[in-house]
Amino acid sequence: MKLHEYQSKQIIAKYGVPIPRGRVASTADEARHIAEELGGRVVIKSQVLVGGRGKAGGIRLAKSPKEAGELAATVLGMEIKGLPVRKILVDEAVGITKEIYLGITNDRAARRPVMMASSAGGVDIEEVAATTPEKITKLHIDPLLGLREYQARDLAVSIDLPREYWRQFGDVASGLWRAYMENDATLAEINPLVITSDNRLIALDGKMIVDDNALFRHSDLNEMRDLTAEEALEVEARKYGLSYINLDGDVGCMVNGAGLAMATMDIIKLCGGEPANFLDIGGGASAEKVAAALRIILADPKVKAVLFNIFGGITRGDEVARGVLAALKEVKPKVPMVARLVGTNAEEGLRLLANAQMITAETLVDAAQKAVAIAKGA
Ligand code: GDP
Ligand code: MN
């Protein structure tokens, strides 16, 4: 789950990282009031779950409450990378003398978290990472020992941070580390961390992604979820306990079991096609669940064929087939459906599906070839 900037900054602030004073608004009037409270000079910041807002015109500096109101109206009317701006953060404006990058993520290959820092922070960090990666220092952290003081200092030295900021930098790095660990984050990032014109180190931007699988132990974070900012189909899927990820291809996949769903996508690719989604309907596929899954798959206009790959185990094949039939009656799909069903009561299940005008297949390869051929216009 991605958190908005204002949410991420509130979290890291709890761990002692200094952030500018500011509040969230959803109307131009509110923004003007907040600007008055903050003394006039503010930054209006669009709250959308994508990066590069600054370059897209979604971060604007206002010199007065009146201008704050006007800019807020403009930004609230914007769409950034396809996402409408519904909220803005109104932060006190800060004079900047230097922009630093500081972030933590998981390094899967090293099997531990990695902290990254660069003196070339700000809106061009992607460019820096691509063209001059040596300007980004990386430091692995032992998750059991945590971030050590000397490590934070090494990092400060590596980015040529003047000595008088080492202590503050150490506090920021350790706060960010604790925010990352204690919230089960997969990313915690400050870009830019700035040196202000009055010699303070403060986090102007913040970004956190927390692990969905750990949300059950963070009820406070769960409440921060912004459903309006997430992919609508994925939100709908979560409601029914389905694991659904929208992809770029045109063969819809309806599979019971995550491993089987991965294998199904692989075989579709092997047969020269591209899956339109990952979908695991889980065990005990009831008609209601299958119908919801089918609605979700078909809501994607790219889908030209749907491949059902069902393994009848604890849930018998004929039961799943009945679920599929009930779902078909409700959803009335217009694209061809190919079914492969094996396991307990597979014959009965396949008979039911064939009667419902589904194209049946003996093996997964057979099913994938048929679905890919249909999607390609055969
Ligand atoms: P992003 O483009 O989505 O990463 O949004 P940021 O919050 O990082 O803002 C982009 C840029 O706007 C920053 O790198 C700063 O240069 C600038 N900026 C943001 N807040 C302030 C501020 O309070 N004062 C000044 N002068 N610039 C700011
Ligand atoms: Mn930024």
Q: Which ligand is nearest to the CA of 52?
A: 1
Partners of 44 in the β-ladder: 60, 90
- Choosing from 5, 67, 99, 189, the catalytic residue is 189
The pLDDT tens digits for 242-272 are: 989 999 999 999 998 899 999 999 999 999 9
What pLDDT, on a 0 to 100 scale, did the predictor assign at position 50? Answer: 87
Ligand 1, residue 93: give the atom nearest the CA: 23
Atom of ligand 1 lying closest to residue 96 CA? 26
Distances from the Cα of 235 to the Cαs of 74, 121, 341, in angstroms?
28, 33, 28
Banded model confidence at residue 362, pLDDT cuts 50, 70, 90: confident
Respond yes or no on whether the N-terminal peptide bond of residue 192 is cis (omega within 30° of 0). yes
pLDDT tens per residue across span 207-251: 999 998 999 999 999 888 888 777 778 888 888 889 899 999 999
Query: Rounded mean pLDDT of the chain?
Result: 93
Taking the CA of residue 122 as reference, the ligand 1 atom at the shortest distance is 14
For the CA of 54, the nearest atom of ligand 1: 2
Distance between Cα 59 and ligand 1 center (Å): 7
Say yes or no: CB of residue 194 within 6 Å of ligand 1: no
Q: How many residues does the chain have?
A: 378
Give pLDDT, residue 285.
Answer: 66
Q: What is the mean pLDDT of residues 108-124?
A: 95
How far apart are alpha carbons 250 and 274 in whole angstroms?
6
Q: Is 189 a catalytic residue?
A: yes
Q: Which of 101, 180, 240, 244 is catalytic?
A: 101
Whether 93 is in the pocket of ligand 1, judged by its Cβ within 6 Å, is yes
Ligand 1 centroid to Cα of residue 204, in Å, is: 7
Q: Taking residues 300-307, report their average pLDDT.
A: 95
Q: Residue 172 Cα, ligand 1 centroid: separation in angstroms?
A: 18
80-106 confidence digits (pLDDT tens): 988 899 999 999 999 999 999 999 999
Nearest CA to ligand 1 atom 4: 52
Task: Say whether pLDDT at 351 is over 80.
Answer: yes
Per-residue confidence band for 314, with pLDDT thresholds at 50, 70 and 90: confident
Nearest protein CA to atom 3 of ligand 1, as residue = 53
Ligand 1 contacts CB of residue 49 (under 6 A): no
pLDDT at residue 297 in the model:
94
Least confident of 40-44, 128-132, 368-372: 128-132
- β-partners of residue 105 are 114, 187
**Axis crossing angle, helix 149-158 with helix 166-182, rounded to the nearest 10:** 120
Ligand 2 mean position, distance from CA 101 (Å) = 9
Mean pLDDT, to the nearest integer, of 318-337? Answer: 87
**Could you give the CA distance from residue 48 to residue 51 in angstroms, rounded to a whole number?**
8
| CA-wise closest residue to 152 among 171, 133, 136 | 171
Question: What are the b/e assignments for 55-81, b being 16+ CB within 10 Å?
Answer: eeebbbebeebebbbbbbbebbebebe
Identity of residue 168: Q
Neighbours of 166 (CB within 10 A): 17
Residue to substitute in 21, 24, 34, 59 for testing ligand 1 pocket (most ligand atoms within 8 angstroms of CB) = 59
